[in-house]
Structure 1
């Protein structure tokens, strides 16, 4: 089965409760902005790139993010890329500065020392091995996926200027839940999507469907905006909980409109969750919900979409001695209802996700993989072991979440992509 790996960065109880940092304070963390795969723009005044850019650069993290191995390649007349520069750039904790050592293809070696004056401005002074100043390089980050470099001689005369655009690979099919960058999407959805696409994300999942639109865009407009950024609009979280689960007229009216809007947007699935589980007291109520989810799933299937149920922690409460999540898994039709297991909320709910994948194989079309802060930082969730059970669970889409941010959201989701790509998807 072809695996489609999908990343979600999802916030606790939605955006209103998110904890965010507005800045990146340390030199070490600021340096991480330079990690990734980059290509040169057509010229420094634009972020457009050519089919065969002049420069390709790989900047890979090492030693717990203390250093970067940087390789720069230049295009020749036959559109082949040859080595131009190789260096190590690292953070020195003793002097709280950025240090570099490298060489070019002529065998000329150099060292460099510098500092971030702010998140966006970084200066490095290069020296030859005799200790003489050679070139100063200024780095100006336009955003987390766009940086302008300019080299100056010892008289402050500009020698060259280059603009790099991040171009991380999409071969592992990682996606993102846009709640992670909700404020950014409300402010400038087009530019936010562009950055996400450059970071390496392949897909987006939304939760803002309202009155037939997404972030104020029609389904077709939003689909086009996502695709222009190099991604796909894959899924959408939708919320409708009728008071009467047997009122087919109300159910069909809302869901048929919702399904048609999402078909125009080109999504593959609709997902939902349930915030009222603490109020359920009887098995009869659980069965009413199961019947309701089967109805919605059948409507979706008849229209070429999938319907997915997303859990939080309340699913692991008991009703009349029965665990709610088990009841839903046992009493919904696998033909109509898929499950999107939220790894973090399962852990909060006191269960081992792997036990569910073993007990209900092939029921989990996707995972939300979330940690207590940025992915992989808490040490409380063994993501690497969990990822061994993708095939058993039936996973096609993997979604990861961040409970609260230590950094600005767009920086954090870039770190999340790195963790998924380099640590979990070998």
Structure 2
């Protein structure tokens, strides 16, 4: 009888532990764009602020007047790192070697671009050119620098095409050896796509993720734009974060970064961190 009770107690304890398992066990990183105004004034102090939140992994999309070596030194002094380096499309077209060298100096594994230049709706012709460019950028970055190229979706790529979207076209026609993706969950949800379902559709193509939420009541579209005030703390907006994060944990995503474009980031980022910590 005692043995049965002991087994029952162990199983109950295991079940309770499983029930309390954190949905998001990682420590998130931070996109520099969240603190863009602060970085523009004082890079060292801003890094100190971010580290005080318990965050040591950065995705930089601006050097904020520093050289890559100077920024790397500031990170090293604080026990911080840069895992992803974001650049503009023209940088990849015109000075890819400089991009690759800067990324290596920063210690990044990934080079990310977040916008394909276009006017009006995104078209099939643009998607075809994008595929050619991405395969080219990715091959050069991998062959010359050992870096992984990622495209960060921004919403406009979800124009309908055949039985899917132009985003599907880009994923399916880029070489997975050279092209990976960073999912921005707001810019997946905003044009009407389920981020969790998209991760499950392409479980091996996403390597990075931007964590953000969309203000309740805001209706999305395919523009790729919304006022920055519509970024809200995780768990207070429209996105189904538990479902998205559960899908992400089963995928190839390596790094998660908080991005909050709102002017209220100083109060919202701690809320976001607290939300992630209590999500079970």
Q: TM-score if structure 1 supplies the norm length?
A: 0.52
Matched, 1:370 2:212: yes
Matched, 1:273 2:273: no
**Paired residue for 2:266?**
410
Seen in structure 2, the aligned counterparts of structure 1 residues 215 and 241 have a Cα distance that, compared at 3 Å, is closer
**Paired residue for 1:195?**
49
8 Å contact kept, 1:235–1:270: yes
Matched, 1:224 2:73: yes
8 Å contact kept, 1:375–1:402: no
Deviations 1:316-363 (A, max 9, x none): 113577511101110111111111111111111101112212221211
Deviations 1:183-219 (A, max 9, x none): 11111110110121121002111111xxxxx111111
**Paired residue for 1:240?**
89
SS of 2:65 mapped into structure 1: coil
- Structure 1 position 277, deviation (Å): 4.8
Higher RCO (CA 8 Å, separation ≥ 6 residues): 2
**Paired residue for 1:393?**
251
Seen in structure 2, the aligned counterparts of structure 1 residues 200 and 344 have a Cα distance that, compared at 3 Å, is same
**Paired residue for 1:183?**
37
Seen in structure 2, the aligned counterparts of structure 1 residues 260 and 317 have a Cα distance that, compared at 3 Å, is same
CA RMSD of aligned residues (A): 2.2
SS of 2:89 mapped into structure 1: coil
8 Å contact kept, 1:361–1:393: yes
What are structure 1's unaligned runs of at least 5 residues?
1-170, 209-213, 243-249
**Paired residue for 2:278?**
423
Structure (1/2) with the larger helix percentage: 2
SS of 1:201 mapped into structure 2: coil
- Structure 1 position 403, deviation (Å): 4.8
Seen in structure 2, the aligned counterparts of structure 1 residues 401 and 374 have a Cα distance that, compared at 3 Å, is same
Greater C-alpha Rg: 1
Summarize the alignment of residues 298-313 of structure 1 with structure 2, pairs less than 5 Å apart. 298-302=139-143, 303-313=145-155
Name the count of aligned residue pairs.
Answer: 238
Structure (1/2) with the larger strand percentage: 1
Partner Cα distance (1:388, 1:342) in 2:
16
Seen in structure 2, the aligned counterparts of structure 1 residues 278 and 361 have a Cα distance that, compared at 3 Å, is farther
What are structure 2's unaligned runs of at least 5 residues?
1-24, 215-231
SS of 2:253 mapped into structure 1: coil
